[in-house]
Amino acid sequence: MHLRRVTARKFTCLAVAATVVSVGAGAPSPHAAAPPGKAPVAVGYGGAVSSVDADASAAGIDVLRKGGNAVDAAVATAAALGVTEPYSAGIGGGGFFVYYDAASHRVHTIDGRETAPHSADSSLFLENGKPLAFADAVTSGLSVGTPGTAATWDSALDAWGSKSLKTVLKPAERIARHGFTVDSTFRSQTEANQARFADFPATAQLFLPGGQPPAVGSTLKNPDLARTYEELGRRGIDDLYRGDLGRDIVRTVRKPDLAPGSTRNVRPGDLTAGDLRAYRALYREPTKVAYRGLDVYGMPPSSSGGTTVGEALNILERTDLSKASEAQYLHHYIEASRIAFADRGRWVGDPAFESVPTEGLLSQRFADARACLIKDDAVLTSPLAPGDPRHPADCASAGRAAPTTYEGENTTHLTVADKWGNVVAYTLTIEQTGGSGMAVPGRGFLLNNELTDFSFAPADPAVHDPNLPGPGKRPRSSISPTIVLMDGRPALALGSPGGATIITTVLQTLIGHLDRGLPLEDAIAAPRASQRNAATTELEPALYNSPLRGQLEALGHAFTLNPEIGAATGVQRLPDGRWLAAAEPVRRGGGSAMVVHPVGQR
């Protein structure tokens, strides 16, 4: 308890710290030059928005300046990201929304995850008894789940917003109509998808003007999406779930429109109007763990984010990471991640279909039983067998090990706070960069490939897999929007894109800030490692090329190079009442942090 009290006091000091603390050799500067129009850090009053895109952050700030609250601004920012980050987010996808209500001091969540068609079963991605190649499954109607984003916006605004959907969609509608400036990240993402985009006339018309990716510095307009947003604002989300827009989505999934001469085998899906009518975004109780005297809230299943981040924090709770060497800190973080991912793979799935022991996974007793596996001078072997949170036993396993399945890495996250102290952490996605590759003709947005987050087949036939497809089932996600409270009030909120690396990005950012003493913007910028119950741990170049790698290899760790892991954004309430907004300085082209009334940049 002494350590937890000390850390809570230290947190208050960290919130006003202005010094830069290194975290490993070669750490990128958190004050590296941001792209034009972007600043990775902003401090001020009246509320804050942090996202990957300057136009999107500005849309949220505009709503806050006009009297909207954090929920209103979050929806406005998300809608704008559907224009400027269409390969990561949009109304063709889904996401997870975590909200702190300042009036009640409570945290709420919305599960806006996509669902499988009601005709789906465990053989959804099997052909002739064998799993489809991943790329074939992605670019198909089979991969498209019932979109949940519009329902999430409607549910959030209905429960906690102060503005109408029509009002908060207006900034995004204007961006879509007048256009946004193409940057190098957008251009490179388009180039990476050029071959499959070209196979779909509606997609090519949107994103391949003249048959080529748009030039850096050019203006890209999306009048179809502007009209779609205008219709959603005027008609409401029933237009998607029961109306003309929904019929267009179903038609696109069931009869993919291929360009003449295309040889791509695009398998149709079985999404129906009934699947759209049946869809509901779900209010769920958040996950909660105590860490260093703070309360950490996250997203419950169907996401694995809250349980996996929470379990890893509980495992690390008994270790004083603030006094550990850099190598020992990373060693314990890597091993806690390995263990938490082993348990995630065995136990977490859609709670409507699986008996998920959420309470057990988040118990300190279970974490302590798993933490005893970690040794200061040795490394666990992956894939590691899971434990049993229902019957915790020290250093015991509860079955056979199974590797972590792949998840696409392109998603987007936004974090918002308002002048009343309400906070939103919201991660939304269409899964792969460019989703399924299929745009809805005349509607201006891409459809998700979220169902490829299901296991195509059990990794080990002898091990129960809670993430196989099923009728109306939500695929397991790693999305981890997180809000941290101190004494019932928001201390910080954050999240990240990155598939399964979302969990490790959020975890490492939290402990970098809370344990290692990094200001939030430095913890976001610090070089990352990601262990997901695999034989090797992924390292970003600044760690891979540092002496720390050799020190960790001497303990038995094995590493692979990953050029870029995650792209976090966050907000933090400073003791003097100001908000600090922080985003990535470099990753994925850098992010955009803004406040309503700036009082200087750090």
At residue 33, the pLDDT reads 43
At residue 599, the pLDDT reads 85
% of residues, the chain, pLDDT over 70: 93
At residue 295, the pLDDT reads 98
At 263, list the tokens: 């040889």
> What pLDDT digit, counting tens, does each position of 439-463 carry?
999 999 999 999 999 999 988 888 8
Element (H, E) at 346: helix 326-347
As a residue count, the chain comes to 602
Contact 596, 62 (CB under 8 A): no
Task: Return the closest-CA partner of residue 404 out of 341, 312, 340.
Answer: 341
Break the chain down into helix, strand, coil percent, rounded to 5: 35, 15, 45
Give strand pairing partners of 131: 126
At residue 94, the pLDDT reads 98
Return the higher-pLDDT residue of 9 and 68. Answer: 68
> 30 pLDDT exceeds 90?
no
Q: Is the dihedral of CA 197, 59, 428, 410 positive or negative?
A: positive
Chain-centre distance for alpha carbon 397: 29
Cα separations in angstroms, 569 against 51, 76, 91, 441? 6, 17, 21, 33
Residue 303, phi then psi, degrees to nearest 5: -80, 145
Q: What is the mean pLDDT of residues 350-364?
A: 98
Return the higher-pLDDT residue of 467 and 600. Answer: 467
What does the DSSP assignment read for 137-190? HHSSGGGPPBP-HHHHHHHHHHHH-SS-HHHHHHHHHHHHHH-EE--HHHHHHH
What are the residue ranges of helices labelled H in 413-519? Answer: 501-514
Contact 292, 318 (CB under 8 A): no
Q: What is the mean pLDDT of residues 523-529?
A: 98
310-321: b or e for each residue (b if 16 or more CB lie within 10 Å)?
bbbbbbbbebeb
Helix (H, G, I), strand (E, B) or coil at 548: helix
Task: Return the closest-CA partner of residue 585 out of 530, 519, 514.
Answer: 519
Contact 571, 582 (CB under 8 A): yes
> 154 pLDDT exceeds 60?
yes
Helix (H, G, I), strand (E, B) or coil at 261: coil
> 324 pLDDT exceeds 80?
yes
At residue 47, the pLDDT reads 98
Catalytic residue numbers, as ranges: 411
At residue 38, the pLDDT reads 87
CATH topology of domain 2-14+27-39+53-283+406-598: Glutamine Phosphoribosylpyrophosphate, subunit 1, domain 1 (3.60.20)
Q: Which residue has the tokens 């314990």?
A: 332
Q: What is the mean pLDDT of residues 49-69?
A: 97
At 75, list the tokens: 């929806």
Report the alpha-carbon distance of residue 147 to residue 430 in Å, rounded: 9
> 552 pLDDT exceeds 90?
yes
Per-residue HEC secondary structure of 56-95 comes to: HHHHHHHHHHCCCCHHHHHHHHHHHHHHHCCCCCCCCCEE
Q: How confident is the prediction for the chain on average, in pLDDT?
A: 92
At residue 600, the pLDDT reads 54
Q: What is the mean pLDDT of residues 472-499?
A: 97
Cα separations in angstroms, 161 against 61, 68, 331? 15, 8, 43
Contact 569, 494 (CB under 8 A): yes
Helix (H, G, I), strand (E, B) or coil at 491: strand
At 463, list the tokens: 């091990």
Report the alpha-carbon distance of residue 441 to residue 391 in Å, rounded: 52
At residue 401, the pLDDT reads 80
Q: Where are the domains of the chain?
A: 2-14+27-39+53-283+406-598
Contact 219, 177 (CB under 8 A): no
> 602 pLDDT exceeds 70?
no
At residue 409, the pLDDT reads 63
Cα separations in angstroms, 501 against 332, 417, 445, 510, 559? 17, 25, 26, 14, 15
At residue 462, the pLDDT reads 81
Q: Which residue has the tokens 């990471």?
A: 321
What band does 408 get if pLDDT is binned at 50, 70 and 90?
low
> What pLDDT digit, counting tens, does each position of 283-309 carry?
999 999 999 999 999 999 999 999 999
> 176 pLDDT exceeds 50?
yes
Contact 78, 89 (CB under 8 A): yes
What band does 230 get if pLDDT is binned at 50, 70 and 90?
very high
> 3 pLDDT exceeds 80?
no
Contact 117, 269 (CB under 8 A): yes
At 288, list the tokens: 């909660």
Contact 101, 422 (CB under 8 A): yes
What band does 397 get if pLDDT is binned at 50, 70 and 90?
confident
End-to-end CA distance of the chain: 34
Report the alpha-carbon distance of residue 63 to residue 43 in Å, rounded: 18
At 120, list the tokens: 């789906």
Give strand pairing partners of 489: 486
At residue 16, the pLDDT reads 37
